[in-house]
Amino acid sequence: MTLVAGIDSSTQSCKVVIRDLDSGAVVRSGRASHPSGTEVDPEFWWEALRTAIADAGGLDDVAAVSVGGQQHGMVALDASGRVIRPALLWNDTRSAQAALDLIDEVGAADFAERTGTVPVASFTITKLRWLADAEPDNAARVAAVALPHDWLTWRLRGFGPHNPVLAELITDRSDASGTTYFDSSRNDYDRALLALALRRPTADDVVLPAVLQPDEFRLAATETPGNAAATPTTTPATGGSTVVDPAGTSIPLPARIRFAPGAGDNAAAALGLGAVPGDVVVSIGTSGTVFAVTESPARDATGVVAGFADAAGNYLPLVATLNAARILDAISTLLDADHTELGRLALSAEPGSAGAVLQPYFEGERTPNLPQATGTLFGMTLASTTRPNLARAAIEGMLCGLADGLDALRSQGVVASRLLLIGGAAQNPAVSTIAAQVFSVPVVVPEPGEYVAAGAAAQAAWVVTGSRPTWPIALLAEPAVDFRPVIRDQYRAVAVV
């Protein structure tokens, strides 16, 4: 049996799945938590990755591995391969003004034309401009910029401060397209935009990860000519090699293990689900995302739809919200209920929550672009202010933001024949039931699973066989369309945009 490993280094945790290459069956898995906060030292991700790999029984019998991860986070490295400051994550809104400044300087239409996307605070380019303005000494030291999955792949291969070969950073089109200094039509970086962000005359000397094709791979540092700083040793049990890290953080890896390019988490999920044109994926994790695989790029000059690339050579127009599963976490805590009880309460209320409407901008919002916003509960009356209505209003408000996202995708020509609901909160039956009331498209809930890690595992399989695997997807539920216009009508009536 040939095994491949897929990793999802997401906002809240790191998940590892080991799959059988032929059938796609999950053979074993592991996970570990990430610290909370919108600014995180990448060493915590590395530590969580090591823990999750150990929890999954190690990688010493896998043929290939690939890392998917949260998009956009700024991992700035100096010339000695050290992380200059904690990474700013996709949900850190401090670069909102930097986004406005860059749009002023470049123009929204030009940004959309050159990169597919108009920047908001989430995107890497705005974080680099924030660094240049707020921490110029740190900005002056930037020798390379990586994304979370690029940096983890580099570390896993045996590079790092102990072996700082910046030129060995690798990535893929999907994650590169989330920087807003990459043009996924030309498959090349826009270094003029990068220089503008860093306030430098040129950024030609800044190392950016090499963008690999889906069937391209790299080997470990010990097996990469000219990069032998990490001394090879032999692992007796497997006859393989160990990537030695003087900091004592080695992960045993088999000889000749292949490292696939990795991907942004949403593109990896699309791959893991086998999404095809006509499928729209709604992911409800820390972020809420709505996206689709398309054959041509989106270029939305209004900035609502991000014109990303996918991980298989197509495109991935996407709308993201900052407020998704954690709204349900917060309301569960408020109601002193666990997720199961929250769902039970929500389903005991009527569609429309008796007029209660939760606009869930608890962490500011990205879509609509309101980084300073806060959440608001509208429609409080003696009749509506009950635990069931509040539980339902939380789910309805969260889903209405995503339904607006689907409308925006459609305005870019995306066809929605069915909607695949994934992510931590999709496991709640109340979420899928209410989704069938909010979206006027058939909803399909795949079996609970780590679809980002599944997509990364598919990338790993791809670099072993040379072609994309077709692994089956089991469905958990297909709730009948039960569209209740009252939910979106009420939400629209209170909309702050």
Ligand X SMILES: Nc1ncnc2c1ncn2[C@@H]1O[C@H](COP(=O)(O)OP(=O)(O)O)[C@@H](O)[C@H]1O
Which residue of 289, 321, 323, 432 would you call a contact of ligand 5SP, by CB under 6 A? 289
Q: Taking CB within 5 to 8 Å according to partner kind, which of ligand X, ligand 5SP, none is near residue 392?
A: none
Cα–Cα distance list, 212 to 167, 172, 207, 298, 487 (Å): 13, 5, 15, 22, 44
**Residue 10 touching ligand 5SP (CB under 6 A):** yes
Q: Would strands 443-446 and 418-422 be described as parallel, antiparallel, or unpaired?
A: parallel
**Residue 322 touching ligand X (CB under 6 A):** no
Distance in Å, CB of 245 to ligand 5SP, minimum: 26
According to the annotation, is 71 in a ligand binding site?
Answer: yes
Which residue of 9, 11, 163, 180 would you call a contact of ligand X, by CB under 6 A? 11
Residues 405-434 close enough to bind ligand 5SP by CB under 6 A: none
Identify which range of 17-25, 91-99, 246-254, 420-428 contacts ligand X by CB under 6 A: 420-428
**Residue 286 touching ligand 5SP (CB under 6 A):** yes
Please state, in angstroms and rounded to a whole number, the distance separating the CA atoms of residues 166 and 173: 19
Nearer to ligand 5SP, 72 or 157 (CB): 72
DSSP symbols for 190-250: -HHHHHHHHT-S--TTSB--EEE-TT--B--GGGSTT-TTS--EEETTTTEEE---TTS--
| Host H or E run for residue 319 | strand 315-321
**Residue 423 touching ligand X (CB under 6 A):** yes
According to the annotation, is 437 in a ligand binding site?
Answer: no
Interior angle at CA 94, CA 108 and CA 144, nearest 5: 80
Please state, in angstroms and rounded to a whole number, the distance separating the CA atoms of residues 434 and 203: 48
Give SS3 for 59: coil
Q: 60: Cβ–Cβ under 8 A, 6 or more apart, which residues?
A: 235, 237, 238, 240, 252, 253, 254
Residues 96-135 close enough to bind ligand X by CB under 6 A: none
**Residue 341 touching ligand X (CB under 6 A):** no
Binding letters toward ligand 5SP, positions 173-212, x by CB under 6 A: -----x----------------------------------
Which residue of 119, 261, 264, 424 would you call a contact of ligand X, by CB under 6 A? 424
Q: Is the dihedral of CA 352, 353, 358, 360 positive or negative?
A: negative
Q: Taking CB within 5 to 8 Å according to partner kind, which of ligand X, ligand 5SP, none is near residue 115?
A: none
CA nearest to 29, candidates 69, 59, 67: 59
**Residue 69 touching ligand X (CB under 6 A):** no
Please state, in angstroms and rounded to a whole number, the distance separating the CA atoms of residues 262 and 462: 11
Binding letters toward ligand 5SP, positions 316-345, x by CB under 6 A: --x-x-------------------------
CA nearest to 443, candidates 280, 302, 329: 280
With contacts defined by CB under 6 A, how many residues of the chain interact with ligand X? 16
- Tokens read off for 365: 């919002």
Please state, in angstroms and rounded to a whole number, the distance separating the CA atoms of residues 87 and 429: 35
Distance in Å, CB of 95 to ligand X, minimum: 20
CA nearest to 318, candidates 293, 348, 344, 285: 293
Query: 87 — phi, psi (to 5°)?
Result: -70, 140
With contacts defined by CB under 6 A, how many residues of the chain interact with ligand 5SP? 17
Q: Which of 60, 245, 265, 300 is catalytic?
A: 265
Q: Taking CB within 5 to 8 Å according to partner kind, which of ligand 5SP, ligand X, none is near residue 71?
A: ligand 5SP
Residues 111-140 close enough to bind ligand 5SP by CB under 6 A: 122
Identify which range of 153-161, 233-241, 281-289, 431-439 contacts ligand 5SP by CB under 6 A: 281-289
Task: Estimate the crossing angle of helix 429-438 against helix 387-411, to 10 degrees.
Answer: 50
Q: 88: Cβ–Cβ under 8 A, 6 or more apart, which residues?
A: 38, 39, 73, 74, 94, 95, 127, 130
Task: Respond yes or no: is residue 265 known to be catalytic.
Answer: yes
Nearer to ligand X, 314 or 427 (CB): 427
Please state, in angstroms and rounded to a whole number, the distance separating the CA atoms of residues 464 and 487: 48
**Residue 71 touching ligand 5SP (CB under 6 A):** yes
Nearer to ligand 5SP, 115 or 289 (CB): 289
Please report, in range form, the residues annotated as the binding site for substrate.
71-72
Interface residue list for ligand 5SP (CB under 6 A): 10-11, 70-72, 90, 122, 178, 264-266, 285-287, 289, 318, 320
Catalytic positions are 265
Interface residue list for ligand X (CB under 6 A): 10-13, 285-286, 325-326, 328-329, 339, 423-425, 427-428
